[in-house]
Structure 1
């Protein structure tokens, strides 16, 4: 019996790719770029045209020395007798004349094959953008779309009922309504990423979706020209905003316990204080911050805190009652507002504080916010590791401020379980270890994470 089992096992182990049927072979080749699939045509007569039956067309023109070869492969694939549905279409190209003149027919043929994943990336500047044909708006089975440096005309109608993920990078639009219509006409859209380019023709970015869960906006523009951003997505769970130029951000609705990363300046020039005469800007900030009051996790940049610092001189921050995790980066001119900001986070549990300079200016840390006394369990402190040399002697500045900062949390946090400090604190570790801790269960760590006894 053992001998028979051994023979069967050897037979099973001796199977090769050639023993698989064409359907399985094509499924395997789906995971490779089309260039690799084409190479298999030299293996045998059976493999000669097998690549034409692979349900994926994935081509990068930089992999070929001649653009005509690329378009030849596209034409041969799309004109073959095999008209099966496509799982993936990816075309990365340089929008030269031969692509521009044949682009529409190529996209029309692809969309007719019930595409699932659609990816078109142009590698040249805006002067050479090709226009997506109307058929693009009617990919009824597509679930994933990625477009880079193409032109989108305003659609007469949009039918993308299955689309879940859309990535738009440096796309140029016919107008504001083009993007708004595209987004609002995707009833299943869950993840949206917009990288704004220098010439996208947009004044207002309007994101209105009842299904959207994840949204990321990254602005690469050079001028603002009164640009605004509006977001109305009641199911939004994650939002990232990185835009220093748009002057207005209006949150109509987001999810009640969302995670947000905010790096915006509201077009407030750095070094120019936000004064009482900016009533419209102050109103916009009040409404923006109020809409963020329900978020659960927040990462906020030093530039945004710079604007909020000026805002706090005139109005009180709204309470962030649901906020349990905060990652904040303070500048030297704004870290005096640290207690004020923490006072607006009564139920904060984890706090990552990053100072983007070596703190040499002492600030008043006598105020003890409620979260320090009752809820804060994890604190991480990070400052740059800078060593100054003067007259052949090495001195490290900022010692008093760093000690004061560590002392502030150790002496006031009643529920603190972990305090972690960066490498820049290494020369005062012993002094920090000797600070009395209000929370007897608090453990002390350093970066990289190493427990201190």
Structure 2
């Protein structure tokens, strides 16, 4: 059976959920007489193998061999492995099983290889490396390896990963990638590298640039990697996510350069990087931004730092054409500091905005909202971040919200004055607001909820606005 897209696989999986349930019933009974003439066993091998591949880890796939003579060897034809080495009593048995499975049907393609490796003792790198090398030479399409052992980051990947011509997606976590001598990944569309150690600072940049059809790239940076300047250059990239631990408190003059003219989705969550350079952003539609340009803790925005000002100006202009944006209050703080010396660009295409606020620092919103003339929907969420001390905020709104139609405040309200100030701001300044959605905190007593409901019945600029309390 051939699937043309990921959505086709999802659709098939949903349709065959009853089939999976029936398989487990048969496994529990373990009696051949109960499956004689059963409609499941009459399905073609190709369909059954796809169902097992998409829905069960390998240890459960093997268990289906006890169902009947019909199922005894079917597991050997499933084109994929999903393993956890802790499912095996001994490490050698784990390796032997992988070797045995890969020795079956050596001419067929391996659709998927997923491995979680966890070892309390010193891991046997050579054996694991050989397993992954064998997988890479079996025309595998999807590789997902997580090293959760004592020696995380030390487990090296084989060079054959760089020349796997059939590979479509590559997901590695806490591993080491060697320096590539030659890269040929003509089919690779999805790459996710989380806390991956690179043997050379240019290894990642080289790998990205040599994937001609790469569409989705996720990089989870380690606080101890040696990459000072990372250039993400791709003519095919549509989605890019860059994450790092924002609580390390490190002061680093790191640089991230993004040159992807077809990029549609961008997520940046890294407080350490000082310089973000976004080239060719014309196709960008959605952005999720949690950055502070390394202005954290005692570091302050300096209006006289012209290189920093120019970099922030270019970055804000680079994301100014997006239609959908998520932004954190930490980023808004830097944006506000910058706005006191230069005006923010207009975000004319922005129709949906989600703001993740730290505490009640909502007073930063007006300076940003006044530059969003076509904003229709706003969601106010909340996150936990350390706030900077001595932050100067606006004392009152500076503009009417002429386009805003829907506002949702997700943080449960307790009736505090600063919360009601936020509610009043939207009601008193939104000309065509249709719906304001709120939620009260569960700790409020009944009489307090009544008072709060009465309080939000304040004058509103839009006569058609509904206040919905969840």
1:84-104 per-position Cα deviation (integer Å, ceiling 9, x unaligned): 111111121136656312233
Give the RMSD, CA atoms, in angstroms: 2.9
2:113 corresponds to: 89
* 1:377 paired residue among 405, 410, 414: 405
1:120 corresponds to: 145
Deviation at 1:65, TM superposition (A): 2.6
Mapping for residues 122-137 of structure 1, pairs under 5 Å:
122-125=147-150, 129-137=154-162
Mapping for residues 283-298 of structure 1, pairs under 5 Å:
283-298=310-325
2:289 corresponds to: 262
Q: TM-score, normalised by structure 1?
A: 0.83
Q: Give, in whole Å, the separation in 2 of the partners of 1:111 and 1:130.
A: 16
Deviation at 1:204, TM superposition (A): 2.2
* 1:157 paired residue among 182, 190, 199: 182
- 2:439 paired with 1:439: no
Q: Give, in whole Å, the separation in 2 of the partners of 1:128 and 1:269.
A: 28
- 2:391 paired with 1:364: no
**Range 41-50 or range 230-239, more displaced:** 41-50
1:168-201 per-position Cα deviation (integer Å, ceiling 9, x unaligned): 1111012332111111211221111111123333
- Moved >6 Å (runs of 4+): none
1:197-228 per-position Cα deviation (integer Å, ceiling 9, x unaligned): 23333222321112111111110273353222
- 2:197 paired with 1:172: yes
Deviation at 1:330, TM superposition (A): 4.3
Q: Give, in whole Å, the separation in 2 of the partners of 1:21 and 1:345.
A: 57
Which of the pair has more CA radius of gyration?
A: 1
Pair 1:24–1:321, CA change in 2 (3 A): closer
Instruction: Tell me if structure 1 keeps the 8 A contact 2:213–2:236.
Output: yes
Instruction: Tell me if structure 2 keeps the 8 A contact 1:194–1:216.
Output: yes
Instruction: Tell me if structure 2 keeps the 8 A contact 1:347–1:376.
Output: yes
2:216 corresponds to: 191
Pair 1:49–1:127, CA change in 2 (3 A): same
Instruction: Tell me if structure 1 keeps the 8 A contact 2:360–2:419.
Output: no
Mapping for residues 55-66 of structure 1, pairs under 5 Å:
55-66=79-90
Unaligned runs of 5+ in 1: 1-12, 387-395, 449-453
Deviation at 1:290, TM superposition (A): 1.3
1:353 corresponds to: 380
1:419 corresponds to: 436
Instruction: Tell me if structure 2 keeps the 8 A contact 1:132–1:152.
Output: yes
Instruction: Tell me if structure 1 keeps the 8 A contact 2:431–2:462.
Output: yes
- 2:269 paired with 1:242: yes
Pair 1:53–1:403, CA change in 2 (3 A): closer
